[in-house]
Chains A and B, each alone.
Chain A
């Protein structure tokens, strides 16, 4: 009788390994292109807020009643953002249909449609921010959905990769990489949500100094904007701890497939902290501030990728899961 396998049966394993024959290099590259363009779009969208151009085009979906207005002043950033968003929307539409036509796995097909739904919703939210004159709740939702959509594109790219399709059976996660990576992703996502709230409450400089806060460790918290800003700084510490743990677990596991992205993630977090400081020190200058937004997305994306990779290649260690250990272990 064949020994139990990572996926429970030789048939399932064969189907998983047989996916290497389903590898579609062009669709995979297209998904990677979409992920890269989405990250660029997050930067472009960040420029709109950083240059205070969010209402430079008062109407939607047209711009001053035109498909292509003069790209001057704030219109350059706002309409440029709309053009980039339309391009990403188009890429998503193509990928969703391509996946529907060619993908055998139901989950991936559904992910394609979900990504399409998300990008359409994101476009509608963008329109609402303009029509309703940038209400905070809509602006923050627009920012957070952008990050969520970015994660969907990463998932699409990885799910169509040769690595995913040809993955051998999962191995025991004795080092706890999976949990650490997922925890880091969750903490980073919360930190991004806080960052969006801070940004759209115009609290980016509510604490004017760094690393201290009004010259001390804890600022006066009477002003809600100061409180939100300070919680975002505390969130950065939480991210450092979570990412540090993921890096430690990856090293403990000794698998270079996790060590490399964990190291890259840690490096990105250091860069992100430096950018956060530069936002304060430059008085919220446009490019450091926007780079901070985009790097935040890159941090989240890297942590999410690490989580996906750990999910694909590792399974919970029996000792960690509380299940009885196999005889002889």
Chain B
């Protein structure tokens, strides 16, 4: 009886299989490369103006941080020459990966676009590094790596989630239902991975290019407060007066 009893009890005590928040199983064809746009702004009716400019950094750029990828041999194999992390990326004085948006002055309602934004995990890094979406716009999270990742945004007003993608090609779709700027997204498996998602109720935002330039299109005429938010340097603001059919120029500078 003693020999059989433990087996019976062990069977009864086996943990129930509850894969809450488990890996997504929907497979998508592997993409050739990440072509996810940094912004997916829809074209609102009547907005023919634009705001363009350059976000600059005049301080001393800190040295790039070398990242140890040895904890995952597949990541290490994809970066044989090493991987560096540089939060303050500057080219020709321009600051890349800064999120520029209209902080105030926007009127009207703007339904989210039907097209999903895409956040891709490729080479054990996120692409793009910064994205903007509208409230309730779909975000397709894709794993293009032959290793596992978890995607863990840490919002303050939206609902936090944490999902696993164990295999290449896996995709998941999520959305945020509240405005929030620069939600950090990380991978707890690969701690160097970091991206940022900004959620707005309107489509008037952009992410600066490598040289710090940006353009927000289809802006209706009006007076606006323009804010740029950088993950390390935080914020700078400016003012824009937009006239129909004319571009307004707003340059913003971080002194560093």
Contact = CB atoms under 8 A, between A and B. Distances in A.
A122 to B, nearest CB: 13
Nearest to A56: B188
Contacts of B15: 61, 123, 127
B188 A61 contact: no
B147 to A, nearest CB: 6
B168 to A, nearest CB: 12
Interface stretch (A47-55, A146-154, A217-225): A47-55
Interface in B1-31: 2, 5-6, 9-10, 13, 15, 17-23, 25
A131 B20 contact: yes
Chief secondary structure at chain A's binding surface: loop
A61 B2 contact: no
Contacts of A59: 19-23, 164
Contacts of B25: 65
A58 B22 contact: yes
Best-surrounded residue of A59, A62, A94, A131 (most CB of chain B within 10 A): A59
Contacts of B21: 58-59, 130-131
Interface string B64-93: 000000011111000000000000000000
A323 interface: no
B189 interface: yes
A58 B191 contact: no
B191 A52 contact: yes
B163 interface: yes
Contacts of A54: 188
A72 B188 contact: no
Contacts of B20: 59-60, 131
Which 9 pairs of residues, A with B, have the shortest CB-CB distance? A59-B22, A56-B188, A73-B189, A64-B166, A72-B72, A58-B164, A58-B162, A65-B23, A73-B71
Interface of A: 51-62, 64-66, 69-70, 72-76, 78, 93-94, 97, 101, 120, 123, 127, 130-131, 133
6 contacts: A56-B188, A59-B20, A65-B23, A75-B148, A123-B15, A133-B161
